[in-house]
A and B are shown apart, each in its own frame.
Chain A
Amino acid sequence: MPETTSLPTIVVVGHGMVGQRFLEALAKRGTTGRARIVVLCEEPRPAYDRVRLTSYFSGRTPDELSLVEPDFMERHGIELYLDDPAETVDRTTRTVTSRAGLTFTYDTLVLATGSYPYLPPVPGRDATGCFVYRTIEDLLAIEEYAKTARTGAVVGGGLLGLEAAGALRGLRLDTHIVEFAPRLMPVQVDEGGGAALLRTIEGMGLTVHTGVGTREVTTDASGAVNGMALSDGSVLAADLVVFSAGVRPRDRLARDAGLRVGERGGIAVDERCRTSDPRIFAIGECALAADGRVYGLVAPGYEMARTAADAIAEVAEGAAEFTGADLSTKLKLLGVDVASFGDAHGAAPGCLDVVYADSRSGVYKKVVVGADGSLLGGVLVGDADAYGMLRPLTGSVPPVPPEQLVLPPGAGTPAALGPASLPDSAVICGCHNVTKSAITACATLPEVKKCTKAGTGCGSCVKVIGQLLPAAGDGGLCGCFPHTRGELYEIVRTLRVTSYASLLDSHGREGARGGDGCEICKPAIGSIIASLAPTLGLSGHVLDGEQAALQDTNDHFLANLQRNGSYSIVPRIPGGEITPEKLIVIGEVARDFGLYTKITGGQRIDLFGARVEQLPVIWARLVAAGFESGHAYGKALRTVKSCVGRTWCRYGVQDSVRMAIDLELRYRGLRAPHKLKSAVSGCARECAEARGKDFGIIATAEGWNLYVGGNGGAEPRHADLLARDLDDESLVRLIDRFLMFYIRTADRLERTSAWLGRIEGGLDHVRDVVVNDSLGLCGELERLMADHVTGYRDEWAQTLEDPERLSRFVSFVNAPDAPDPTVRFVPERDQMKPDLTFLTLEGVSAR
C-alpha cells in the first residue's frame, strides 16, 4: 500500500484485549491525532473479552463480548485490518508485511501478539475432534462438533482448563478433566484449596482425574477421536478433546526479525516495554518483562499497554514503568469463586498459615502471615468475598488478628474488618491500578467507573468500592426509614404489613414514628404494598383506604399532571394494535372535550388538557368503548411496543404483535420501583427497538431472545441478552421471574438498567437467579406474578363503579362543579395548548 502520509506511523500487530487497551491508551494521550495508526488483526473480529469467553454459553453473543465501541476506530482515525495477520517484520526497511500482502512502513512497531495454546507432544493430538480453547472461533468450532458428541475431555486442570470444562458442561457433554499435577489449579491454589475445588466440581457431575498424564489420543477408523490413554494405564472414552495445558508467548515474528527473546520464549523488553530494537515494543502475553517473567493475566497486560503508550507518547512526568506485577487473581470457574493473592503458597521463609476449611459448603480460606505479622498472601476457594479486602492489605500488618481474616462473619468474631481500615494508598482495583484515595474522591459508583475506570475490569472490587463510597446518609430510603427499598419490601412481605402508618410506626426512624412520613417514602411504600397487594389479600386498588394518601398526584387521579394543573389521559392500546372503531372513539372523545392529541413513543395516543372533574366523564366514555387504564401515570408497566411481525412483514419470523399483546395484558397494572417499558420485534431488524427497553424480545427462527436492562432517556443503554431461542412458555416464565426479582430488590426509582449496573454480580447474578434458580426463589417469584395476573382489575372501571372513589374527582371541595378558572387554553396548530402566560403573571420564575 502506498505511503502518502507525513505523519509518523505506528503499526500495532495484534488486536486482542491488550492491543485494544494500548489503542485506548494512545487515544487518551492524544497520540491518535498525531500519528497514523495501523492495526493488523489475525482474527476476523475486533478485540473481545477473552476472559469471559465462556459466558457465550450463558447467552452472551460474540458481539456482546466485543471490547471496542462501535465508532472507536473511525473516531480516532485508526486503520484496522481484520483477518490479516502480520507475516514478516523487516527491521532494515522498517516494514511489516501482512498475510494478504499489505506492507506498512513503521516509525514505531508494537507487538501485541499474545500467546498460543500449548499442545503437549502426545500422539493423536491433531485428530478430528481435538481442539484448543482460545478464541471465539475455537469456541464456535467446539460448539459445532459437540452437537454429535456425548463425552468431552479437557487436558489441563488449570485456570483455562476449568474454563474449557465449563464450556463443555454448558454444551451438555459428560465432561472429564485430566490434570497432571496432584490437584486442580496447581499454580494458584494450595493442596487444601485444590481439595475444596475438587469436591465442589465433582459435586456438579464433572469427573476429575488428577495426578495422571495423557499418553495418547486414540481415534476410530475414520480418524476421529474416540478416547485417551492415560499414564496410569487407564483408558478414557471421549468424543471430543480440548487441550488447555497452558499457553506460550507468540514470539515468532520477533525471533524471525532477530529481536532478543527469552530462553523459554517471550520477547525480551525493558521497563518501558521496549524490545532490543528501540523502535519496537512488545506488550502482553508475548512479552518477557524486565523481571524475567511472562505474564499470562490480563491485568499485567493492561499495565504494559499503559507503559508502552506512555513511552510512545513521550509522557514526560510520571510515565509508567512495568517492572513486574502481582499475580493475584479472583475468578469464578464453573460457578466456584477462586482467588489467590500474594505469596499464596507460603514460599517466604518463616511464614505461617492460618486456615479455615468447611468441606460441607466447599469453602477453603488460607492466609499466609510473615514472621512480623504482615499479611503475605492467601488462597480463597468457594467464598472469595474477602478478596477485595485482603489483596490491598497484602504487605501490611492487618489491623485485626489473622484468624479474623478467614473466619466467616459471626463465627465468634467481632465486627468484620471493613475497607475503612485500608490505607489510602491501597490499590483497590488491580485491573486499573486505582487506589483507595482516588475512589474516595468520587461520590458514586458510576462516577468512580467513569473517572477512574475502577470496577470496570474484572469487577471483583465493586463490592469494596461500594463500601468505600459515602452512603446516602446511612443508606436508608429517606429521613423516615433507615431501610433500603429492598429491605422494606422484605419487611412488608414477611410481616404482611398492609398499612403505611403501621410500617412507619414500627420500622421508621425514632423521630419519624407517629408522624406523616414524607413525599419520598409514601409513594415508594405505596408501590410496594400495591405490588404485593394480591399476596397480602388487599384489593390492590391505588385509591383504596389509606393507600389513597400515599400516591403521587398522578396515581391519585389516575392521570398525568401537566404544567398548568390539567391532566393527560393514555388509554391502553396493547401492542399498539387498535381497531378503526376504537380509534374513532378516541377521536370523538378528544373532539368533544377539546383535548390536545399526540401519538406517544409507545404506540399509544395521549389526550391532554383534561380538568380533574372531567376525568371520570371522559373515562366513562372510554371504558364503555372497551378501553382500560394505560398506567401512563404509574410506576408500572407502560407499553409493550411491537412491529407488525410475521403476519404482514416479509422479513418477520414470529408473530410479534400477538406476543406483545399477550405480554402487555399479562403485566398491565404491575406496580414496580419505576416505570417498565417493553417491546417485541418480529425479526433481527428490530423495528420495535426492543433493546432500548427494560425487557425486550426479539424473534429468532427458533423462538425468542430475551433482552433485559435496556433504557432510552438521558442514559441510553442497550439491553443485555438474558436467554436465547425460548419458546412462548419459557419466555413468559423467565420474564415473570425477572420482573418480580427486580421489583423485590431494586431501589426506589431505579430503572432496570441502573439496577443491573448496581447489584453485585450484575447480569450474571440475575441470570443465575432467574434462569438457574441459584437462590431457590423462582417458584415464589412465579407465584407472586400469578397472584398479580389473577388479581388484576382495571383501575378506571373500578373507580367508575365506586361513588366513594369518584367523590375525589372534584375541582373544589366547596364548589365541586366549578371548573378551575386558571386552567385556560389558547389555540396552536389547529389544537389547543395551555395558556402559560396567564399562569406565570405573578409567579416567581420557574426553573
Chain B
Amino acid sequence: MNTTTSGAVLQLLLGEDWLPICDRSALIPGRGVAALLPDGRQAALFVDRGGRTYAIDNRDPYSGAQVLSRGLTGTRDGRAFVASPLLKQCFDLETGRCLDDDAVAVTVYASRLAH
C-alpha cells in the first residue's frame, strides 16, 4: 500500500527488480495509462482516489486488444476494478480476476511509489 507523495516514481516489480515507469503525476485517479515492458508485454497502471496504485496486464482477454488502461475504474464492494472499454467486462485490480466470469483473469503486477 502506497500513499501519494509529490515527486514519487511509480515502479513495477518484474522478476526480482523494481522497474521505474513514470512520475506519479502522470496518473489521474480513475484513469489509467499504458506502459511498455522490456519483454514486449504491456501493463495498465492506475491510481485510486486514496492514492493507491495498481498494475495489471493491458491486454483485454476478450478482444485481444491492448486497451484495459483506457477503461473506467471504480469501486465495487470496497474493491477497485477496471471495466474494459470494449465490451465492459470488469476486472479486479488487485487479483486480476474477471468479475463477470470466474474462469477469466489477467496478470497482476506488484507496484509501488518510490522516491
Contact = CB atoms under 8 A, between A and B. Distances in A.
Interface in A829-847: 836, 838-844, 846-847
A847 B64 contact: no
Contacts of A516: 29-30, 48-49, 73-75, 80
Contacts of B42: 812, 820, 822
Interface string B57-81: 0010111111100111111111010
B3 to A, nearest CB: 15
Interface in B4-38: 21-22, 26, 28-31, 33-36
A468 B86 CA distance: 35
B33 A549 contact: no
Contacts of A511: 77-78
A553 B70 CA distance: 6
B83 interface: yes
Please classify how large the interface on chain A is, using the bins under 10, 10 to 19, 20 to 34, 35 or more: 35 or more
Interface in A521-568: 522-523, 548-550, 552-554, 556-557, 561, 563-565
Contacts of B64: 822, 836, 838-843, 846
A550 B62 CA distance: 23
B56 interface: no
Contacts of A522: 30, 72, 74
Nearest to B85: A553
Given A822-B65, A839-B65, A563 B35 contact: no
B65 A519 contact: no
Given A501-B49, A516-B30, A843-B62, A813 B22 contact: yes
Contact of B34 (A554, A813, A839): A813
Nearest to A811: B34
B96 to A, nearest CB: 13
B1 to A, nearest CB: 16
Contact of B66 (A501, A822, A840): A822
A818 B86 CA distance: 23
A515 B66 CA distance: 26
A503 interface: no
Given A814-B35, A822-B66, A519 B83 contact: yes
Given A552-B85, A813-B35, A515 B49 contact: yes
A549 B63 contact: no
A813 B62 contact: no
Contacts of B78: 511, 515
Contacts of A818: 36
Given A519-B71, A552-B72, A553-B85, A814 B21 contact: yes
Interface of B: 21-22, 26, 28-31, 33-36, 40, 42, 45, 48-49, 59, 61-67, 70-78, 80, 83, 85-88, 90, 103-104
10 contacts: A480-B74, A516-B74, A517-B30, A522-B74, A563-B86, A565-B65, A565-B67, A813-B22, A813-B35, A822-B59
4 closest A-B pairs by CB: A839-B64, A549-B30, A515-B75, A518-B74
Given A519-B72, A820-B42, A822-B66, 18 more contacts: A515-B75, A517-B30, A518-B74, A519-B71, A519-B90, A523-B72, A549-B28, A553-B70, A554-B85, A561-B85, A812-B36, A815-B35, A815-B36, A820-B34, A822-B42, A841-B64, A844-B62, A846-B62
